[in-house]
Structure 1
Amino acid sequence: MSETQSVIGAMHKAGIPIVAGSDTGLVGYGLLREIEIYEQSGMTPLEANQSATIVPARAMHLDADSGTVEAGKRADLILVDGNPLENIGDLRKVSRVVANGRLYESAKLWKSVGFHPW
């Protein structure tokens, strides 16, 4: 475990909210890698996923409208092939995205730009 992971794990154990962010040059990949590192730092897969959902929503006082899937909340979400609560790497297997009430299928989007990620 790296020193960074040790610090993240200690902060988490101390009850400090850990918020995932995508401020790297590789938006998407960077965020997914960050969530994986959180799990490697001692968070459960659920806690690591929550670092990118409900935890930031609470930190920004937006949890009344976002952060969880509930009636009346915005429904921007990803659907993945697999279960990221069992294998955090399954977050990389995005099959569909719902954004602003519209459904996007990953395979069609990749095909439209001539790219296949796996």
Structure 2
Amino acid sequence: MAPDAEYENGHILTSKQVHSLAKNGVKVNLGAHGQLQGLGAHWELWSLVQGGMSNHEALKAATINGAAYIGMDKDIGSIKAGKLADLIIMDKNPLEDIQNSNSISHTMINGRLYKADTMDEIGHKAKKRKPFYWENSLFHEAFPWHESIRTYMQSGCGCHAHTSQ
């Protein structure tokens, strides 16, 4: 609902500046955080293309450039014999349309293959995943009051003079 000029002066202007820096030799890295889990990286990847990068350049920013920045490009960031097998498999080609990055069907972590929609292991050893911490009703088993109040925070006043248990 924002005017086009305001939209252009937001993330698109930033992405255009990033593209300009990349054209002048600056290695651009993807670095998403703070948004909904899993979406921030896609949004940032897509915005790099909105700013003028090719799909291939944006994918390099999401993979090998970041690996090189942290000195790990010999181990991660591209597919090559001897590198760690951490990768994603997509049903659609992001080189054709960068938004195809959201078509992830499988994830490989340390050489173990998982279905992306369930995170059940399906590779060499099928294994249904256990619930993530937010999916169980225990919240935090280390505290005796976790089940009764169903939160990480202990109920009561800040002075701890009064507690629920």
Q: TM-score, normalised to structure 2's length?
A: 0.63
CA-based RMSD of the aligned residues comes to 1.8
Higher relative contact order (CA 8 A, sep 6+): 1
Q: C-alpha separation between the residues in 1 aligned to 2:76 and 2:26? A: 21
Alignment check: 8 A CA contact 2:13 2:51 kept: no
2:44 equivalent in structure 1? 34
Query: Which of 16, 37, 53 is 1:43 aligned to?
Result: 53
Question: Which of 1 and 2 has greater Rg?
Answer: 2
Secondary structure of 1:108's aligned partner: coil
Taking the TM superposition and a 5 Å limit, the aligned residue runs for 1:1-118 are: 1=8, 2-109=12-119
Give unpaired runs (5+ residues) of structure 2.
1-7, 121-128, 132-165
Instruction: Tell me which stretches of 4 or more aligned residues in structure 1 moved more than 6 Å.
Output: none
Secondary structure of 2:113's aligned partner: strand
Q: C-alpha separation between the residues in 2 aligned to 1:92 and 1:44? A: 17
Q: TM-score, normalised to structure 1's length?
A: 0.86
More displaced, 89-98 or 1-10?
1-10
Q: Deviations over 1:54-110 (max 9, x none)?
A: 001111111111111000000100000110011111110110000112111123349
